[in-house]
Structure 1
Amino acid sequence: MNKHHESTGPSSAQEQITLRGPAELADSLPYLLGFTPTDSIVMIALHGRRGRFGGRLRLGIPRSPEEWPGVAEELADCLVTGSERRGDKPEGIVVFLCQDPGPGETAGQVLERLRPLAQRLRTACGSLDVPVHEALCISDGRFWSYCCPDTRCCPPEGNALAMPGTSVMAAAAAYAGIQVRGSLRDMEARLLPRTVGTEQQERALDLAAAALVPRILDGADGGALVGEETLALARGLMRRIAGAPLQADRGESGTDGGDDALIEDSEAAALVLGLQDRTTRDRAAEWMEGPEAEPALRLWRAVSRRCVGPYVDHAAAPLTLAGWVAWSTGDEPGARVALGRALRLDPEYHFAQLLHQACNEGLDPEALRACLRKERGSREADGETVRAESRRRPPQSPATRQDGPSGAVRPGVGGPRGRTRRRNGQRGTRSGR
């Protein structure tokens, strides 16, 4: 097979690259995605006479072969219709199936086990009048073509992948300043629940739910006060994270461990519960640029890791915030991983759905950034007006307020804010999404 594919590589590269044959396609995959995929179906649209790379999709390989026909049809339809919305129908598609052998399994056995999935994907794309030009299986450092019958270039034992950093795509990516952020497995590990101190964290989450949920359900003002307290706590933790010295030689995992050590269990629990409120979460999304972005991203990742035990799916909120900040700051691979994790926990989480679709379709996050800036500016202007008015008003009498540990809360105003879920005898808030 000697089809030529032109690509500008990941979105920031400008110089055109010509890839010839399955070997160069296989070697280019980490640079096209920004990470090395594991246990993944990857589909990339090709446009124009020379096969310019367009939209791309990644999905974990379903464990049950019974799911493969439906998944193949859904992925093909999503990639083709998404490409049409952005401009042109693809001229073709390239498919990658990436999975390392399981216990007692060889890479060749992975190739054969996944062959029916490759055929399903080819058939699904063909039914939409878009041919699959190449379908590759990548396993245990080797690759095979499901499409090329020529054993001279695609032998039965497969071909070894090029050494990292030695392919034509690697050279072009290095020139463009594009980095591959490790494997998908490594990136996801930064967002998974912690495996140490889980009992203490779960106990803190239970205590936070018992303390905060009654206040949120007490009325609109109670929910508003919890929201303000949540945001104030987050601001303080961002300052703490930003002020902590970084040790570059410790790598990303070392940075994550350092961030975890900066946050008390009770603080993490209060944030987890408070961020379930949609209004609070949306205001937290305003920390997405400038000096606020990096500490915010590190905080949301750390909070996601503290969602343990029966609170695991509460991580959808901080994961979505992490994905948003990553996308806003140009880290599209990191954004896709965080948003994908959020949607696996809660497939109906609307904010994550919208961000994931926009990121995958290559939209510019500036429109949302501008909207959040406007909201923040309007609220700050309104706050100045409210503070000026309050200075002219007489103080409330004790009969009109109820003093609590966090300030004045008027009882019996409004109704429950958000939704609640029963969890092992505790109540945890889940807001509108």
Structure 2
Amino acid sequence: MTPTDQATLSVRSTADLLAAVPFLLGFHPADSVVVIALRANRIVFVARGDLPDFLTAPPPSAGGAGEAAARGPGETAARGPGETAARGPGETAGGPGEAAAQLAAVVARQGVETVTIVGYGPPARVTPVIDAVTGALGRFGLPVLDALRVTGDRYWSYVCADPGCCPPEGTRFDASASQFAAAATFAGQVALPDRETLVRQVSPVDGPAREAMRQATRRAESRLQKLLDRAAPADPRGRRALRRAGRSAVRIAMLRHRTGGRLTDDELAWLSLLLVHLPTRDEAWQRTGGEDWQLALWTDVLRRSEPDLVAAPATLLCFAAWRAGQGALASVAVERALEAQPDYSLALLLAETLRAGIPPSTLDGWDAPDRSRQEVLRAR
């Protein structure tokens, strides 16, 4: 489903809200803080950070891409918007205060009116983060409707002091048994067991499939060398030949997936080699939105490409997921890109886009030939 056709579902209680969070993120959070932001009583943005990012200061090499995405005004759905982490690639966290300020800034730039905070984990870890995030949001003038801690199958409110509705032993709930969860599942929404399950969905193929792709890539390399050897004298470096081949490979791939098909090993290996050529990568980027078949295409290319060729397809999957409002998928995809090539400029741009919480609607209706997508995103 895309952001324009996701089902609108109602949240009528705290239990409903907690049942909604896994569908909003796409997976069940753990050891996390989640900020749910509203405008006109509609959820328009969801941000998530890992508790360790707030409570520790890991070395720069541990830094991961932030995760964030947002819906357009007035949209509420049971999946996405996504998530946000407190830091970007290579950044360190300076304790709850600094991390909370970064998270609050991302939420505030969405133009929301109120927020609810949910912390997942034991009180010793959750409470200082809830306090820090509440204070940081207050400095942006954002009222906190409620702040909750979820530990096991119970939740506690940091705002409500009435033991009649918020008992000191916590309130038991079963998110899987809620009417919201049933309605979201019926509407086709998915909440994976955890973030690692999402990571595995974009992990490299192995076994016979990997060996088949190694052989296909070797054949593609020979094919590419022949293409360059046959380049016309007027095209000494074969740039025009590469551009033509890349445009053709991208169009074939998109037509195949748009019509429900899948690339052969040789076709995919050929495309993965050509995507190293930036004009081919940009051709694919300009044709990529957030449709389901595009997510399937770039996921397949990412998983089957050889390890040294994954930066481009991983970045294209990140962009497609961001456009679809699937911030968590966008984040794991850009992590794959930067693991493969830490200085890949488009991946760095999209990682910053996610970390800053720039909404996918930024590119809605974009048709200015004098401005590239890079320029539009950097301007934000």
Match of 2:108 in 1: 80
2:149 alignment partner, SS class: strand
Match of 2:241 in 1: 225
Contact 1:143 1:161 survives alignment (8 Å)? yes
2-structure distance, mates of 1:225, 1:215 = 7
The answer to which structure has the higher strand fraction is 1
Which letter maps to 2:283? R
2:361 alignment partner, SS class: coil
1:164 alignment partner, SS class: helix
> TM-score, normalised on structure 2?
0.63
- For 1:88-237, list aligned pairs within 5 A: 90-98=112-120, 110-155=122-167, 158-164=170-176, 166-167=178-179, 169-170=180-181, 173=184, 177=187, 179-183=189-193, 184-197=195-208, 198=210, 201=213, 221-237=237-253
**Closer/same/farther in 2, CA of residues 71 and 223 from structure 1, 3 Å limit:** farther
1-structure distance, mates of 2:132, 2:236 = 52
1:285 alignment partner, SS class: helix
- For 1:320-359, list aligned pairs within 5 A: 320-326=315-321, 331-333=324-326, 336-344=327-335, 345-346=337-338, 349=347, 352-353=350-351, 356=354
Contact 1:339 1:355 survives alignment (8 Å)? no
1:363 alignment partner, SS class: helix
1:332 alignment partner, SS class: coil
Give, in angstroms, the shift of residue 191 of structure 1: 1.4
RMSD of the TM alignment (CA)? Answer: 4.5
Give, in angstroms, the shift of residue 231 of structure 1: 3.7
Give, in angstroms, the shift of residue 139 of structure 1: 4.8
1-structure distance, mates of 2:29, 2:351 = 21
Larger Rg: 1
Give, in angstroms, the shift of residue 283 of structure 1: 1.4
Q: Which structure 1 segments of 5+ residues have no match?
A: 1-8, 84-89, 99-106, 246-258, 376-433
1:193 alignment partner, SS class: coil
Contact 2:258 2:294 survives alignment (8 Å)? no
Give, in angstroms, the shift of residue 141 of structure 1: 4.6
Q: State, as a whole percentage, how many aligned pairs show the same letter.
A: 27
Match of 2:43 in 1: 53
Higher RCO structure, 1 or 2 (CA under 8 Å, sep 6+): 2
- For 1:3-14, list aligned pairs within 5 A: none
Contact 1:326 1:332 survives alignment (8 Å)? yes
Match of 1:430 in 2: none
1:298 alignment partner, SS class: helix
1-structure distance, mates of 2:283, 2:174 = 46
What does the per-residue CA deviation read over 1:150-192, in whole Å, with 9 as the maximum and x for residues that have no partner?
Answer: 555445654443343633x4476579x4623534443332212
1:58 alignment partner, SS class: strand
Match of 2:15 in 1: 23
Contact 2:317 2:333 survives alignment (8 Å)? no
2-structure distance, mates of 1:289, 1:92 = 30
Give, in angstroms, the shift of residue 359 of structure 1: 8.2
2:238 alignment partner, SS class: helix
2:17 alignment partner, SS class: helix
**Closer/same/farther in 2, CA of residues 58 and 319 from structure 1, 3 Å limit:** farther
Which letter maps to 2:47? L
- For 1:412-427, list aligned pairs within 5 A: none
2-structure distance, mates of 1:123, 1:321 = 37
2:241 alignment partner, SS class: helix
What does the per-residue CA deviation read over 1:203-248, in whole Å, with 9 as the maximum and x for residues that have no partner?
Answer: 86688679869959x9785234234323433444555556777xxx
Match of 1:282 in 2: 282
Give, in angstroms, the shift of residue 94 of structure 1: 1.4
2-structure distance, mates of 1:62, 1:10 = 34
2:189 alignment partner, SS class: coil
Contact 1:317 1:342 survives alignment (8 Å)? no
2-structure distance, mates of 1:27, 1:182 = 13
